[in-house]
Amino acid sequence: MRRSLFCAVLCVSVLVTPGTCCLSKEYELPDGWCCPMCHEGSVVKRDCTPQSGTRCVPCVDGTYMNRPNGLTKCFPCSSCDQGRGLFAKQNCTSTSDTVCDVIAGHFCTDLIEDKECRSASRHSDCKPGHRVKERGTRRTDTTCEPCPAGSFSPEGVNCSLWTTCSENQVEVKGGNLTSDTVCGAASGGLYWLIAVAVVVLVMVLIGTLVGLWIKRRNQENQQQGPGSSVASGEEASACLQESSRLGPQGMLSVPSEEELLPLARLL
């Protein structure tokens, strides 16, 4: 134990805060005496007396003291909150606080004094049609850029060039930023189209011919039949005429050449 009186006078004279009058690694008591500090990992249990030195106690679990001190309480250890994207890189000891670090895939959003991170967030993903320009680090988020022309990215990670359809394929759908070109079998598709078109054409042709033929027959019947007959009579006679044309098997007889000639002229 040592009086700091001489020192205190000196301190006041040079306007230094009280307490600095003890030597380094000493702390000052309220009455102006100086006591030796406790080491890291411990705090003061009892101040020194003229007969004995400072009595210190070690910090208990969950607390620490990282410097020589004249304090009576250890500091509580900080915790690394997983919900804030942090984990304990180094556990708390009696002489040092927990050291938190950013969980993989996260970046620090609240950095203290350029070293300690208080909170972190997940790296963001790039949108489809974009790709990762620079991967995120512990300090920075992902940066993205749009896919270059002629390429696509469905997931927003990498861009791939559009597929070029081969010679015996046709481009069913052009590519865009998010999806590839769609190629189809050229021959197969085309043959189907042609087949359907031919069938439709033939059906239309047959339909037209039959329609024209029936119209022509009706006109002939009108000219031959009794002009004054009522509609129902006309129909009946047309019906008779029609049945007379049916062959023995009940099938329509083939129209004669004279009957088809005006049709051919029409076409």
Ligand X SMILES: *[C@@H]1O[C@H](CO)[C@@H](O)[C@H](O)[C@H]1NC(C)=O
Q: Using a CB cutoff of 8 Å and minimum separation of 24, what contacts does 84-91 make? A: 84/118, 84/119, 84/120, 85/119, 85/120, 85/121, 85/122, 86/117, 86/119, 86/120
Residue 122 Cβ vs ligand X, minimum distance, rounded to whole Å = 17
* C-beta of 170 vs 177, nearer to ligand X: 177
Looking from the CA of 127 toward its CB, the CA atoms found within 13 Å total 4
User: Residue 223 in contact with residue 181, Cβ under 8 Å?
Assistant: no
Looking at residues 161 to 190 of the shown chain, list those that interact with ligand X (rule: CB under 6 A).
173, 176-179
* C-beta of 61 vs 258, nearer to ligand X: 61
Distance between CA atoms of residues 13 and 6, nearest Å: 11
Residue 115 Cβ vs ligand X, minimum distance, rounded to whole Å = 17
Binding mask 71-100 for ligand X (x = CB under 6 A): -----------------x-xx---------
Residue 130 Cβ vs ligand X, minimum distance, rounded to whole Å = 12
Amino acid 175 reads G
User: Residue 4 in contact with residue 17, Cβ under 8 Å?
Assistant: no
Give residue for tokens 């006078």. 9
What is the rounded end-to-end Cα distance, in angstroms, of the chain? 131
Query: How many residues sit in the footprint of ligand X (CB under 6 A)?
Result: 10
* C-beta of 49 vs 176, nearer to ligand X: 176
Among 49, 72, 82, 158, binds ligand X (CB under 6 A): 158
Residue 182 Cβ vs ligand X, minimum distance, rounded to whole Å = 7
- The token duo for 178 is 């998010």
Looking at residues 91 to 150 of the shown chain, list those that interact with ligand X (rule: CB under 6 A).
91
Amino acid 131 reads R
- Residue 229 lies near ligand X (rule: CB under 6 A): no
Residue 131 Cβ vs ligand X, minimum distance, rounded to whole Å = 8
Residue 43 Cβ vs ligand X, minimum distance, rounded to whole Å = 23
Among 57, 157, 210, 266, binds ligand X (CB under 6 A): 157
Q: Using a CB cutoff of 8 Å and minimum separation of 24, what contacts does 96-101 make? A: 96/64, 96/66, 97/64, 97/66, 101/138
Q: Quick one: which H or E segment has residue 260?
A: helix 257-266
Binding site for ligand X (CB under 6 A): 88, 90-91, 157-158, 173, 176-179
